[in-house]
Structure 1
């Protein structure tokens, strides 16, 4: 059979192809034409296989806290304004990312140390783990928080961190930094100023403009919104105006529903929301508290959203893409988007509660959010 006129079988084709690909790479381009799976340059495979996050578990008591304890002795606030450990996913290294769009960092503050104010474009939260004196000042509201409390530090909102009282305090942070970095939209500002006598002057701490209990007093009543405060702009106005969510309220809600059937794939799960809109606290991330009753085991769930799961009470294990991860209090588990995952409470007496971060809002905004489950017969069903 005579080949088509546009096909030329050169006697030195392999050598010429190698030279062609070398020239393409040298000019910072990518050849997207090969379809044959047997050739060395299978561009489909290469294009569809970039760096990907892998399921991974970081252990707080064994690995994170000992390093932070050493850092407290060696790294002082005079050396650095923060003392945090970012959890870096092995599949994404050296990028600072726990999953592709978010990272978790653990922060230990020594007694009575508070850093100067700063702001940045990534959204962030702080979740208390140990100590009653965790401190975050947000837009003039000085918030002292303890274990289980969640504090927002939104996009472009002045804030500062530290500890009040005579004991150390440990918290974890979740930021959408990897997503914002991918979008080339990261900016930081440490030049905090306030007006005094008609002039702008530098300040090492924000002046208090709201009472320390402002978030709870104004926004902390579900279904009830004080009309006189509804127009109060807080921060840059890009997030929930309620800057602190107290654990006792969330724990009470979960406890009140512990006898409900719950969801077979998520057990009892409650979302932190903007009380003025009912939407997630940020446009890029949302957060949940999840309870597994004694002996409870969820059915396998898969979704396009990335998850960061931090057990807060109890212990158990998760199976992510067939791999078992045994966890306990204050650990963090990375569940990359697209992974099958189920959770198990190994106690027959005590519940497990977990703090969960997800990039679900940004996926929904882009019409990329999907969700599947396996039923009791192991059949795959579409959930969203």
Structure 2
């Protein structure tokens, strides 16, 4: 009877055999999903959990605005029909994503620049920052908008961007492109046509089919909706209210500035589809969050990822124990799963955030969860 090999040789042989197995798996584009406690070259759990993740980050407008001006000098509409700066999260680079499912981009248009129409499967909004002449034509409604106004450019809706009125204007956009890209559902179309005299004709400008105040006239009074119009324009893939005016949002904030609000969020007002009461898009939604002078929110954590742009005021946020300072027109990325608190840095003026969230997607898939802590530090489950 032959003697058993020593234990060290058995371990060594096993390690060599495992290494050979792993090398064969990886060479054939496979991944071993089982835990190993031995100190081996392939750490399966670490690799499985080690995919790129968004990190908390602040993009400062004081850095963005000079770059927008330089780009406007060097890149004309003849060079490119787009001139936007996409915010790339350091944890996801080089992927064009500010958090895993959304990106924010800043756009400056010189006076009276208008780009040709296009459409795409990602849903997007434009939110005015500076200038009164931001322009978006969407599905035959020509919208001129200013600071605080939000304009929808929904999935598969023809639209074009630019400025009118003889002055520069800056807006920020939020798109669900990273989410749609992950689902391999991105498509763009730049061949805009209209039917004239029974024939399809290529066009550089959309013909207006609705008055410029259509969205506000039809949908601008909460609780009241005309029955005599078609609410499925643009294919019915989003809210049919394509522009949400800041003056209406400001009125709501002013009426509720003395309410207790939510200790974890302050005063939050969601943008909604007036025909359903739900989010403006199926994938992502938008809101305004107000912190009263000196207000500090209690810690909150949710699975949804957020992008926050301070529209008014300045302050800081504590995200997973680290401080992030922000000022007007910056963008703050809050990846899903982070504990976050917001602090208004002024004792006299409110902070107003414009926010974007991917909660609608998570809620549709039954993945959304939300927690908080009370003043004593106890864990609370909200959703």
Q: TM-score range by the shorter chain?
A: over 0.9
- In structure 2, the residue matched to 1:238 is 237
CA contact (8 A) 2:56 2:333 kept: yes
- In structure 1, the residue matched to 2:14 is 13
Inter-CA distance 38–18: structure 2 relative to 1 (3 Å threshold): closer
Q: Distance in 2 between matches of 1:133 and 1:299?
A: 39
- In structure 1, the residue matched to 2:55 is 54
Q: Distance in 1 between matches of 2:164 and 2:373?
A: 47
- In structure 2, the residue matched to 1:45 is 46
- In structure 2, the residue matched to 1:76 is 76
Aligned length: 376
Q: Deviations over 1:272-322 (max 9, x none)?
A: 000011000000001000100000000010000000000000111011111
Structure 1 portions without partners, runs of 5+: none
Task: Give secondary structure in 2 for the equivalent of 1:266.
Answer: coil
TM-aligned CA deviation for residue 10 of structure 1 = 6.6
Task: Give secondary structure in 2 for the equivalent of 1:253.
Answer: helix
1:292 aligns with 2:291: yes
Q: Deviations over 1:246-276 (max 9, x none)?
A: 0111011011111100100010000000001
CA contact (8 A) 1:89 1:97 kept: yes
- In structure 2, the residue matched to 1:34 is 35
Structure 2 portions without partners, runs of 5+: none
Q: Distance in 2 between matches of 1:338 and 1:232?
A: 36
Inter-CA distance 259–202: structure 2 relative to 1 (3 Å threshold): same
Q: Deviations over 1:311-345 (max 9, x none)?
A: 00011101111111111100000000000001000
CA contact (8 A) 2:222 2:274 kept: yes
TM-aligned CA deviation for residue 49 of structure 1 = 2.3
Q: Distance in 1 between matches of 2:206 and 2:122?
A: 20
CA contact (8 A) 1:34 1:41 kept: no
- In structure 2, the residue matched to 1:347 is 346
What pairs up with 1:173-188 in 2 under 5 angstroms? 173-188=173-188
Task: Output the aligned Cα RMSD.
Answer: 1.3
Q: Deviations over 1:50-83 (max 9, x none)?
A: 110000000012x111111000000000000011
TM-aligned CA deviation for residue 34 of structure 1 = 2.4
TM-aligned CA deviation for residue 39 of structure 1 = 4.3
Q: Distance in 1 between matches of 2:186 and 2:33?
A: 31
Q: Distance in 2 between matches of 1:11 and 1:101?
A: 45
CA contact (8 A) 2:101 2:179 kept: yes
Q: Distance in 1 between matches of 2:184 and 2:194?
A: 29
Q: Distance in 1 between matches of 2:58 and 2:124?
A: 21
What pairs up with 1:211-226 in 2 under 5 angstroms? 211-226=211-226
TM-aligned CA deviation for residue 27 of structure 1 = 1.0
What pairs up with 1:61-140 in 2 under 5 angstroms? 61=62, 63-140=63-140
Task: Give secondary structure in 2 for the equivalent of 1:236.
Answer: helix
- In structure 2, the residue matched to 1:209 is 209
Q: Distance in 2 between matches of 1:22 and 1:205?
A: 57
Q: Distance in 2 between matches of 1:172 and 1:112?
A: 18
TM-aligned CA deviation for residue 18 of structure 1 = 2.1
Q: Distance in 1 between matches of 2:137 and 2:236?
A: 16
